[in-house]
Structure formats: C-alpha cells, structure tokens
Chain A
Amino acid sequence: MSSILRFLTSRWGPIITGTAVGVLAPVLVFLGNPGNMGICVVCFTRDIAGALGLQRAGVVQYIRPEIIGFVLGALVAALAFKEFKPRTGSAPLVRFLLGMFAVFGALVFLGCPWRAYLRLAGGDWNAIFGILGLVAGIGLGIIFLRMGFSLGRSRPAPKAVGWVMPAIMFVLLVLLIAAPQFGRDANGNPTGPIFFSTTGPGSQHAPLLISLAVGLFIGFLAQRSRFCTVGAVRDMIMLKDSHLLNGVIAFIVVAFITNLALGQFHPGFANQPISQTDEWWNFGGMVLAGLAFTLAGGCPGRQLFLSGEGDADSAMFVSGMLVGAGFAHNFSIASSAAGPSAFGPITVIVGLAICIVIGLTMREAVATAKA
C-alpha cells in the first residue's frame, strides 16, 4: 500500500490521477451527470451557487458532491501525509477577483479546463477553440510571471484557518442531504433556502454517494500527485517540464476511450451538450480563464485541493469563483446553447483588462540573496 502511495509523488502520480479522472468522469455522465460534464469544477461551483440562491437560473442549481469530495479528499491526504499546513496572506483579495474573472471566462465558454478536455474527449469540437484560448491565456500569464509577477508570500497561519474551507464543505454536505425548505412561495409551497433544479443540467446527477466517493478519491490522488490542468500547460511552455502534462494527456486519452466504450463519443460542432458554437467567444472566454488561473497559480481543481491542504488563499479564490458564478448568471454573462449572452463578450474584455493590470502591477522583490 505504502509503495503505491509513494508512487503518487513520482512521475507516475499525475498519470495515475489523469487515468482515474479519465475513467470516472465519463462514468459519472453514464450514471446521470450532464453530458461531457462528469466533472467540471466551474460548472459545479456555479450549480452550488444556484443551490444556495446566489443565482436563480432554475436549471443550474444543485450542491455537487464532487466539489465537496475534492476538498475533503485532499484534506484526508494532507493530514495523512503531514502536508496540512494552514497558510494565508498572499494577496487574498486579488485571488478573490481572479476567481471571479476565471469563472466569468469559463462560463462564456461553458466549462473549466477539466470540462474543456472532457468535451474534447467526448467529440465536442467547440472545445478545440476553448483549449486554444486556454493555452493563449496561460501563455499571457507566463509573460507576466517572467516579468516578475507575484502575488507575494503566504505565511503560516493558526490551524483553525486551514479548517475553514473543509468546514464549509462539510456544511454544504449537510445542506445537500437535508435540503431545507423553510421558505414559502406566493402559493404557499415550500421553497428555499436550498434550491435544486427539477429540469435542465442541475437536475442531472449521478447518485450522491457515488459522486461523493469519486470526489474524495480524486481529491486524495490529486493532493498527492499535484495534478493541475493549467500547471500542465504552463510547466511545458515555461520549463519544458512534461511532468503534469503527462497526466492531462492520460486524462484526455482515457476519457476518450471510456466515452467510446460507453457510447458517449459523438463527434461534431452542432447540438453538443451544454455547449455553444461561437468560436471567437469560446476562445476569448478561455483566454481570460487561462490568464486568471495562471496568475492564481493553478486550475480550479488545484485551488480546491490546496484549500483542503489548509491554503486559505486558494480558499479565497474558490470563494471568488462561488460569488462570480452567482454574478455570471444574474448579470447575463454565462453563455447558453444559443451562444454568448448579452454581457458575456464585454465582461471578457473588461476581465482581460483587469487581469492584465493585475499582471503588470503585482510584484515582489527578487528573493535571491547571498547568505
């Protein structure tokens, strides 16, 4: 057992994690999750925002157990391997903003990097423009990193700080199971404070315990292997290091094979599940998301895993995603199957401008010194 666990920190770690996600995500679709959405960190965070009433788009409201599992699985791994290190203080407010803009960009495309790869592996060719945008956004982030961009140092924090995000996830789990309905609508029917979709993608989900178990398992693996769908591209471009990219390639190839086996591979551009066909804004949305994730140091999944390790700065990014997901629907930013929404394109442009300002202004003195 211990040799398998040690394996996870070797060069095989990301490949094992990618393979696990590649099998399990399409299986979750098979068991009820929306099409090509076995796992989508941004979409699932948006569904949680909806379930909490932060947005009232009736078709995307559900407390997704996979997200809860990601954080708690990473927490278990971090505790077991003495990597639970509560820390905070690296520009939390800027990270909150980056989380918001990452979600805006991703919801114009209709998926985070995880789902971009899953859409590709399911034959949704619109994903190609999203992935090209993601790579371009990461490339832009690398330019800022090379210019000396830094969100500054975090500091060790009291243990309690590290437990906040895991505790929030535990409360979400209780709300998911209890689904309280204290409110009454105009006709006296029970409603809220927790809202679950009865139609649309929010109503489509695999059985709770299976989704939770998959989330916990992936959270555990990913904490050990440092699996990151954005770091993979970043490290390859910037450092010629394929360590993480091997994991993402395994993820896409295995997801493709699993989709084929389950009869879920449907190649084409039109009529793809929860997808829109506007190439330019599929590309543009993901440029913004890729840039925001790169400036924040990792993909949305990685931010959840780090939250589980006690990183309160990543937890701020996750909070930004949750709030941003609410805004994305309330302000008509998120796309629909019909195409970009009224304020999607302008939000991408404003978001890019703000992220570029962040990239140009956040600096720390070079930390190399003679001892």
Chain B
Amino acid sequence: MNNNIETVDARGLSCPQPVMLTSKAIKKLNKGAIEVLVDSGTARDNVSRLAKNSGWAVTIEEQPDSSYRIVLKK
C-alpha cells in the first residue's frame, strides 16, 4: 500500500500553496491514495475541505513534531 501512495510535502508553505499542490495531486491521480504533510492548522483544514469536496475520504494523523499527515483515499 505504502509503495503506491503519492506524497505531497506542503510543510512550511503559505496559503494557498498547500491546497494548490493537493489539488494538483488529486487531478493527476483521480483515485488512489495521497498523503499530504502540512504543519499548520489552517493548511490541515483547507486541504481536508478541498479533498472532502472532491469526494476523497480524509484521515488526519497528528505527528510527534505537531505537524499533520493527512491521508486522502478514493
């Protein structure tokens, strides 16, 4: 499973870049699994909203360094 998961590392990027990068990955894959790494609550919420609105299932895991790993599946 982990072998074909697309990773988007958006840590440290300002609005709206995390959402833009996620949107690009969603359009490219169409379905499958994507992990998005972000380090702010704003980016976490914005990426989750975009993914849910595009019909992807969203799971959020808080990392030990208080960043977030958002897993999108469709």
Chain A residues close to B by CB (< 8 Å): 9, 81-83, 85, 87, 89-90, 145, 150-156, 226, 228, 231, 234-235, 238-239, 241, 243, 296-298, 313, 364, 366-371
In the bound complex, CA of A371 to CA of B54 (Å): 23
Contacts A239-B50, A297-B15, A371-B6 given; 10 further ones with Cβ under 8 A? A9-B41, A89-B12, A150-B17, A151-B14, A239-B16, A239-B19, A239-B23, A241-B50, A298-B14, A368-B25
Q: Which of A153, A234, A297 has the most chain B CB atoms closer than 10 A to its own CB?
A: A153
- B5-46 at interface with A (beta carbon < 8 Å): 5-17, 19-21, 23-25, 35, 39-42, 45-46
A/B interface sample: 28 pairs, CB < 8 A: A9-B41, A82-B66, A85-B39, A87-B12, A89-B12, A90-B14, A145-B16, A145-B20, A153-B12, A153-B13, A154-B12, A154-B14, A155-B12, A156-B39, A226-B46, A239-B16, A239-B50, A241-B49, A297-B14, A298-B15, A364-B13, A366-B21, A367-B9, A368-B7, A368-B24, A370-B6, A371-B2, A371-B7
Please give, as numbers and ranges, the residues of chain A lying within 8 Å of B14 by CB-CB distance.
90, 151, 154, 296-298, 313
Please give, as numbers and ranges, the residues of chain B lying within 8 Å of A228 by CB-CB distance.
15
**Closest partner residue, chain A, to B5 (CB atom):** A371
In the bound complex, CA of A297 to CA of B40 (Å): 14
**Closest partner residue, chain A, to B42 (CB atom):** A226
Q: How far is the CB of B68 from chain A (nearest CB, A)?
A: 11
In the bound complex, CA of A166 to CA of B44 (Å): 24
Please give, as numbers and ranges, the residues of chain B lying within 8 Å of A367 by CB-CB distance.
8-10, 13, 21
Q: How far is the CB of A84 from chain B (nearest CB, A)?
A: 10
Total CB contacts across the A-B interface at under 8 A: 77
In the bound complex, CA of A85 to CA of B12 (Å): 11
Please give, as numbers and ranges, the residues of chain A lying within 8 Å of B10 by CB-CB distance.
367
Please give, as numbers and ranges, the residues of chain B lying within 8 Å of A235 by CB-CB distance.
16
Q: How far is the CB of A172 from chain B (nearest CB, A)?
A: 25
Please give, as numbers and ranges, the residues of chain A lying within 8 Å of B11 by CB-CB distance.
153
Q: How far is the CB of B12 from chain A (nearest CB, A)?
A: 3
Check if B45 sits within 8 Å of A226, measured CB to CB. yes
Q: Mark B56-74, 1 if CB is under 8 A from A, else 0.
A: 0000000001100000000
Q: How far is the CB of A90 from chain B (nearest CB, A)?
A: 6
In the bound complex, CA of A150 to CA of B53 (Å): 25
Q: Which residue of A82, A90, A368 is within 8 Å of B6 (Cβ)? A: A368
Check if A231 sits within 8 Å of B66, measured CB to CB. no
**Closest partner residue, chain B, to A149 (CB atom):** B17
In the bound complex, CA of A145 to CA of B25 (Å): 16
In the bound complex, CA of A234 to CA of B14 (Å): 13
In the bound complex, CA of A308 to CA of B15 (Å): 17
Check if A231 sits within 8 Å of B2, measured CB to CB. no
